[in-house]
Amino acid sequence: MVFNYRALAEYLVEAEERKQPVSCITDNYPNFNLSNGYAVQKELVKIKEELGYNIFAYKMGLTSQAKMKQMNVNEPIYGYVFDYMNVPNQGQIIKEELIHPKVEAEIAFILGEDIEGPGITGEQVLKKTKSILPVLEIIDSRYENFKFTLPDVVADNTSASRVVFGDKLFNPHDFEVDAVEVKMKINGDLAADGVSSAVLGNPAVSAAMLANMMAGSGKGKIRKGSIILTGAITEAVLLHKGDHITAKFGGMGEISFQVK
């Protein structure tokens, strides 16, 4: 089947702009597959660039058991974070700008050298990583009830919506990247917790997987200086207007923001 990838990308961009969820692409087109999903994602990136936005970071998704179980899908995926999604630490997100946002805690990597698949390992990526830092990702599916199949969520740029980075960069060589303990509180109550090893054993493995997936689809290497979100350590937690979120990343400081 031949799909109109541009029209499907517009459908999702409009849902984001109108803040109105839409039905899954696979509801209308049951044959829509994962490579079709990435083809829509590619058009969605073009639309965002035409609107004047730029890619700010890469993101991996569904890299932990907690997330795969929560979303009922079983394979890591990738997408892009755009510049307009960036929110400062201790800043705020506006509920009215979003549909049904959820928050999740992650580790981000900043590359000191290019990385390239196929066959690159987590250890090799760590050697080429300049810094790591904590990040809270706010995901906001453009699909009704936050429900989708893998091809749908890939088309929807893996629910990318907002990001709040920590203030400090850390040298990955001084750090046990797989032993960062995260505790996320909402209005003072524990909302989710976990350890960074939940992400494929080590978040570096997720960054390596990204390079390998990109190589597999002919997208080439990931350049020095690129930022990679390696995927949620914990389940994602639904946000409400008025919520105050704080997350402690053992040894890496704290991130907080408010939902206005």
- The answer to whether 128 and 115 are in contact (CB under 8 A) is yes
Which one-letter DSSP state was computed for residue 100?
Answer: S
Here's the x/- map for Mg ion, 127-146, by CB under 5 A: it reads as: ----------x---------
Assigned token pair, 12: 């999702």
| Residue 137 makes contact with ligand OOG by CB under 6 A | yes
Decide which of ligand OOG, Mg ion, none touches 141; Cβ closer than 5 to 8 Å per partner kind: ligand OOG
Binding segment for Mg ion (CB under 5 A), chosen from 47-55, 193-201, 220-228, 232-240, is 232-240
| Residue 232 makes contact with Mg ion by CB under 5 A | yes
Here's the x/- map for ligand OOG, 100-129, by CB under 6 A: it reads as: ----x-------------------------
Decide which of ligand OOG, Mg ion, none touches 62; Cβ closer than 5 to 8 Å per partner kind: ligand OOG
Site for ligand OOG in 149-168 (CB under 6 A): 153, 158-159
Q: ∠ CA(73), CA(79), CA(80), 5° rounding?
A: 150
If the CB atoms of residues 224 and 238 are measured against ligand OOG, the closer one turns out to be 238
Instruction: Report which secondary-structure segment, H or E, holds 16.
Output: helix 5-18
Assigned token pair, 33: 């597959």
Kindly state the smallest distance separating residue 19's Cβ from Mg ion, in Å.
Answer: 20
Decide which of ligand OOG, Mg ion, none touches 57; Cβ closer than 5 to 8 Å per partner kind: none
What SS3 class is residue 30? coil
Instruction: Report which secondary-structure segment, H or E, holds 137.
Output: strand 129-139
Q: Which of 8, 57, 67, 117 binds ligand OOG (CB under 6 A)?
A: 67
Assigned token pair, 172: 């990955």
Residue 6: is it exposed, middle or buried by C-beta count within 10 angstroms (0-12/13-18/19+)?
middle
Assigned token pair, 56: 């700010």
Assigned token pair, 228: 């990679």
Assigned token pair, 210: 């990204």
If the CB atoms of residues 137 and 243 are measured against ligand OOG, the closer one turns out to be 137
- The answer to whether 170 and 47 are in contact (CB under 8 A) is no
| Residue 206 makes contact with ligand OOG by CB under 6 A | no
User: Which residues of the shown chain bind ligand OOG in the complex (CB under 6 A)?
Assistant: 59, 61-63, 67, 71, 104, 137, 139, 141, 153, 158-159, 231-232, 236
User: Which residues of the shown chain bind Mg ion in the complex (CB under 5 A)?
Assistant: 137, 232
